[in-house]
Amino acid sequence: MERKSEDISQEPTKYLDVAIIGGGITGAVCARELLKQCAGRVKVTVFDQGRGFGGRTSHRRIHDDGNYMLADAPGAAFAFDHGCQFFRADSSVFREDLLQEWLKKSWLAQWTGDFGKLGSDEAKQNNADFFGFPQKPPFYCSVGGMGSLACALLADAAASGIAIHSGVRVAGTSRLASGRWLLSGTSGKAALHDTPEEEAARVSPDALGEFDRVIVTDVSASMAGWHRASAGIPEELASQVRDRTRVALFTALVAFEKPLAFETAGFAASDDTLWFASRTGSKPGLRDAAQFDCWTLVSTPKYAAAEVERVPMQDPVTGAFRVQEMSYLRDGPCAVLLEAFERLLASSGYSSALPLPKAVYVGGQRWGSAFPAPASKGACEGGQANTTVKVLSCSYSCSPSLPLVPGPADVNATGSKDFLADDKGQIYYASDYVSTRSPGMESAALSGLDLARHVAATIDHTSKI
């Protein structure tokens, strides 16, 4: 999708061009808030490298022939939230400044249903927890798929004049003598994460425009040059993001020929391999999204770290970025997660539903940077039970699970901890990767909100109407 900005009535003679790299929840919140705070004083352009918007909150719909559809298209054979599964609303600023409006506009709804726990024995079942699921509701989902919230926010901002470009990967940022930033990158198939490296490498970056301010929200933009999603941002900024310990995850997307023989909508698991499982049709706005019973299975950080160590994202010989291949995902991580799901159902009182029906579709996703490990022991209840493994240039958490329910210190964290700002260089970073809040969607959204307000304050002092 590409939308060009419309003429803004009574446009001032001076305005600032602001580029936002990343159309996930951070970039979408940041773009919309910046437009609210600085109407008539800025022109905002959003670049996102994906097929659609949403980033780690993405939703995937698939034809029965395996080809992708638009994320809101009807008549899909298969539909999955393949990244973020839901979010909580723990902090008052999030509830007051964001959540209430989103609920009022029907962009969100509570996810309710029969939720369960999986484990090899009763003690493990009792300990099962995934971002507070299932014992600490409410849990919120975007209506019609998790990615729809970012799409709604960006569509709302586009109606007020921002320019939005999907399928465009920013590959380079250069500071010009004028002080402006020149962005370069690629579009089309070469921008996509699953395009073979040799094919993407044939496309030379084109100039994307000059901008007064650059806001980076995609964690992959901070990667070193070997990673195709690197945006070539200044190393002093990139290193602060890249050096944080990551949580890698794999998701298996499985559609069954017949509905599973229980009403449970989702499970948290206490296991070395499987951490969470959710039924697509149980989520708000998704009851009739697909023809089959679709499930998303989420791995543990421990399993994912071991798998990334076994099959690194960088070719050990050439150093080139190694794309995720669907054949590898299906035969490797997806098969392992599906086996773990069946094993845990058998040990947790669901034997009558076994064997599982035939899987008519199996797909997957490798999230090399699903979210950051908690920044401090005070950030989450129970502290940070975290060990790490280093694979090439990145550190990964290899804990079987992480305590991700925010504690009081995290809920009350101030905005000054939520983003990185180089006001002199006029380049900024927003993401849960630069926040001390408990990682996840809420932290990512608040980072974008707080950075937009910070940038607006600097514009107030530098741009006069």
Q: In degrees rounded to 5, what are phi and psi of residue 153? A: -65, -45
pLDDT at 414 over 70: no
pLDDT score, position 465: 36
Give me the helices (H) in 207-295, please.
235-242
How many other CB atoms are found less than 10 A from the CB of residue 339?
12
Query: Smallest Cα–Cα separation from 86: which of 146, 40, 38, 44?
Result: 146
| Whole-number Cα distances in Å, 7 to 11, 33, 162, 199, 367 | 8, 19, 10, 37, 38
* CATH of region 2-462, choose from 3.30.1330.10, 3.20.20.30, 3.30.950.10, 3.90.660.10: 3.90.660.10
> Where along the chain do its domains lie?
2-462
What digits encode the pLDDT tens for the residues 145-191? 999 999 999 999 999 999 999 989 898 999 999 999 999 988 866 55
pLDDT score, position 2: 44
Average pLDDT over residues 270-280: 98
Residue with structure tokens 């999907």? 166
Residue 301 to residue 248: CA distance in whole angstroms: 6
How many other CB atoms are found less than 10 A from the CB of residue 258?
11
pLDDT score, position 8: 33
What digits encode the pLDDT tens for the residues 355-380? 999 999 999 999 999 999 987 644 44
Contact 220, 369 (CB under 8 A): yes
Lowest-confidence segment of 4-13, 136-145, 293-302, 331-340 by average pLDDT: 4-13
Mean predicted lDDT score pLDDT of the chain: 88
How many other CB atoms are found less than 10 A from the CB of residue 235?
11
CA max distance for the chain: 71
pLDDT score, position 199: 56
Band (384; pLDDT cuts 50, 70, 90): very low
pLDDT at 12 over 60: no
Q: In degrees rounded to 5, what are phi and psi of residue 359? A: -85, 120
- For 192: left if phi > 0, alpha if psi spans -120 to 50, otherwise beta; the answer is beta
Higher pLDDT, 193 or 334: 334
Band (204; pLDDT cuts 50, 70, 90): low
- The amino acid at residue 278 is S
